[in-house]
Amino acid sequence: MNAQEKTLTTFDGLTLRGKSWKPDGAPKAVVVLTHGQGEYVGRYEHVGAWFTQNGYAFYAYDLRGHGKSGGPRGHIPSYEAFLNDLEAVLKWAQAENAGRKIFLMGHSMGGQITLNYVLRRKPAIAGVMVTGPWLKLAFDPPAWKVQLGRVLNNLWPTLALPSGLTMEMLSRDLAFLNSMPEVELYTNLVSARMGTACMEAAADALAHAAQFTTPVLFMHGSADQATNPAGTREFYERAASADKTFKSYEGFYHEIHNEPDRARVLADMTNWLSQH
């Protein structure tokens, strides 16, 4: 396995930190990951290793405002900035893997970004895998809090508050979560702009799901306390893709790839990839 770090510059001048994992030989295909809210690339070292061991190249990056990338923590100037950043990373992966099929992968907020990117930008990719995508939350935010967020989005868009997510909500394997490198890079901050933009983007993705025609694998834990499996099921049922799969994991929490039986989840991913 060959792992390399990469620094990209965003359209608006920020530093975007990425990393690639490549097998020793030519890759079967390429997977480009967009992580979830608060995360960073280092939380996917085991995922990158899994893909390379199975012959795939794996690319990931720290979202702006996350990890080692630039920008205020948990903030975006606009939702389009997320899509532009993903496009830059996709171009990086394409440039290094000419002629190889490329698949997009997204977790949680990254799943939402990935689905919206495909819907809005229609990239030349072979397929999509999303885990626990943020399409509907597992809880209903108080109406006053939603309205306050909209007001602050206009008056103080950079104001960032804790998301309310805890490690106990993400996985039943807390020891594994705490063993990850550079845990201090994790942030649970969400700005008024990012929170409002993502809520609107989740609704927009569901509203346009019937326009989704790309081969896609949806994966969700039934006991997810962050995002609602019903939202994923709804997108799956509405999607126009003739090649779509929905897999539910009974009793799994939000980060199904970090659960005690994560090997089964990762195997399901590579099995799906091998069919495409």
If pLDDT is split at 50, 70 and 90, which confidence band does 120 have?
Answer: very high
First CA to last CA across the chain, in angstroms?
23
Bridge partner residues of 60 (DSSP)? 19, 33
Three-class SS of residue 60? strand
167: number of Cβ within 10 Å: 14
Report the distance separating Cα 10 and Cα 15, nearest Å.
6
Q: Which domain holds residue 12?
A: 2-274
244: number of Cβ within 10 Å: 19
For residues 128 and 216, the answer to whether their CB atoms sit within 8 Å is yes
Three-class SS of residue 175? helix
Q: What is the pLDDT of residues 168-184, one digit of tens each?
A: 999 999 999 999 999 99
For residues 237 and 230, the answer to whether their CB atoms sit within 8 Å is no
- Mean pLDDT of the 43-70 span: 98
Distances (CA, A) of 82 to 37, 117, 189, 239, 253: 12, 9, 16, 22, 25
For residues 165 and 109, the answer to whether their CB atoms sit within 8 Å is no
Give the pLDDT score at 144. Answer: 65
For residues 81 and 157, the answer to whether their CB atoms sit within 8 Å is no
Report the distance separating Cα 216 and Cα 223, nearest Å.
22
Give the pLDDT score at 164. Answer: 85
Q: What is the pLDDT of residues 215-249, one digit of tens each?
A: 999 999 999 999 999 999 999 999 999 999 999 99
CATH code of the domain covering residue 152: 3.40.50.1820
As for how many domains the chain has, the answer is 1
If pLDDT is split at 50, 70 and 90, which confidence band does 158 have?
Answer: confident
